[in-house]
Amino acid sequence: MASSLVRTLQRVCTLKRNPRPLTALAATARFEARTYGAEPEPLTKSPFDSNIIRILRNEIEYQQEYAPPHQPDTKFNSFTVDERRGEQVVTIKGKFGECEDIRIEATMFDGCEHVPAYGDDSSGVNVRLHLSLIVDISKGKGENELEFVCSAWPDSLNVEKVFLLRRGRMAARPYIGPDFRDLSAKVQEKFYAYLDERGVNDELAVFLHEYMMNKDRIELLRWMDSLKSFVDR
């Protein structure tokens, strides 16, 4: 009896000094548990990025509430307007009669002038925004074109230059004519009447200023939203 007890105690001591190896399943379970606990957590935005995103989001919301843009017009009188999303110009196309094609390229606001303010704010100045127009009038493919370079102010359209273009047949240094304002008053008057008959007039200038004010808000919101999306990725 005593010898059996001694042998049992000896086996227990041997197991403590030389424990049996874990089975493959148990070892795998313990490894997987350690690996799972060591997985890195998803990266979060830095405080700087989060601040930029918050500021842009607030600015977008403010702009949408303060001066929300409306859907751009696609028609004006006899003209069709091509908005050209994301660009600083718009294209306006029309026809006059049976054979004349009219194409107008108008920039977004590219300048301004300061004029005295009247009324209650007579001590200050007002800003008149300016945009540029190129008006091409052609009479069929291969024909010459008449091109007008114009300035559009909030309430008026002024002609700056007149060119006669020979597409594909222009001389290296063609004579382009005098400055429009150097022409006689009678010639200027006739050209203004010529353009007015085709819908290129003060009314078009008023429309373009309203159109570009709206486009400016649309492009600003798109730009800020693109910035926010980039930082937020």
pLDDT tens-place string over residues 67-109: 888 888 889 999 999 988 888 899 999 999 888 999 999 999 9
Q: 160 is written with which tokens?
A: 């700056």
pLDDT at residue 13, rounded to an integer? 46
3-state SS, residue 196: helix
pTM: 0.71
184-191: long-range pairs with CB below 8 Å, 24+: 188/159, 191/148, 191/159, 191/162
150 DSSP β-pair partners: 133, 159
All structural domains of the chain, each given as residue ranges with its CATH number in brackets, are 75-220 (3.10.280.10)
- DSSP category for residue 183: S
Q: End-to-end alpha-carbon separation of the chain, Å?
A: 77
Contact assessment for residue 138 and residue 145, using Cβ atoms and an 8 Å cutoff: yes
- Tell me the pLDDT of the chain averaged across its residues: 80
Q: Which residue has the tokens 């060591």?
A: 38
Residues of the chain with confidence (pLDDT) below 70: 1-43, 119-123, 167-172
- DSSP category for residue 39: P
pLDDT at residue 37, rounded to an integer? 44
pLDDT at residue 31, rounded to an integer? 36
pLDDT at residue 32, rounded to an integer? 43
* Model confidence pLDDT, tens digit, residues 137-159: 998 777 788 999 999 999 999 99
